[in-house]
Amino acid sequence: MIFKLGLTGSMGMGKTSTALLFQKHNCGVWDADKAVHRLYSKGGAAVKPIQKYFPGAVKGDSVSREELKKILKKDFTQIKTLESIVHPLVSEDRKHFIDTTKFKINVFDIPLLFETGANKLMDKVACVYVSKTIQMDRIKSRKTMEYIEIKRILDQQMPIEEKSKLADFVIETFNKRDTEKQVLNIIKKIESDFNA
């Protein structure tokens, strides 16, 4: 019996760094974005189906995220086709992780947890949170996306206020020390409930 904690939040709210804190404290971590990277890399399960529908997106036996971005920039409605290919493969990857994990508490870092209904597969859900101002400062400081791309991604995501209300735990990620304390409290709570 393993415990499954869904970890979600909007872009720039500290989800990845929070997942690393759970990992530091002996939790297994499955990362949806890393699963997509595996599926897109050479020999990955998404390469052939993506090549069929988006032939220009495959370069040297792997999926080029840059080429995919260009395709979606021209016609964002094609995101539905892409999701219909990728989401089932991501689910398979997650299932494989669940079947093979050696950890008692496992964290599932999934940006679109509620949007895809994956929250129903979790025992509990934690949502990371910061103010909109800090969120935008963090996103802009990465200098990896134009404003229109940021807006598109945020428009796909459920508002953070809604996610926070639906979550069992809300982790404020204003600074690392406080975030780590909150992570430890959640682990303790899960462990005490687990052993109850």
The predicted-structure confidence for 98-125, as pLDDT tens digits, reads as follows 999 999 999 999 988 998 899 999 999 9
Which of 34, 9, 186, 31 shows the shortest CA–CA distance to 108? 31
User: Among residues of the chain, what percentage have pLDDT more than 70?
Assistant: 96
Residues 157-186: tens digit of each pLDDT: 788 899 999 999 999 999 999 999 999 999
Is the confidence at residue 196, as pLDDT, over 60?
no
Amino acid of residue 186: I
Residues 6-35: tens digit of each pLDDT: 999 988 899 999 999 999 999 999 999 999
CA distances for 190 relative to 35, 49, 165, 169, 172, angstroms: 25, 40, 19, 11, 18
43: left (phi over 0), alpha (psi -120 to 50) or beta: left
Three-state secondary-structure class, residue 169: strand
Whether 182 and 172 have beta carbons less than 8 Å apart is answered as yes
The rounded distance, in Å, linking the Cα atoms of 169 and 165 is: 9
Report pTM. Answer: 0.89
- Record the tokens describing residue 34, joined without a space: 């890393």
Q: What is the pLDDT of residue 32?
A: 94
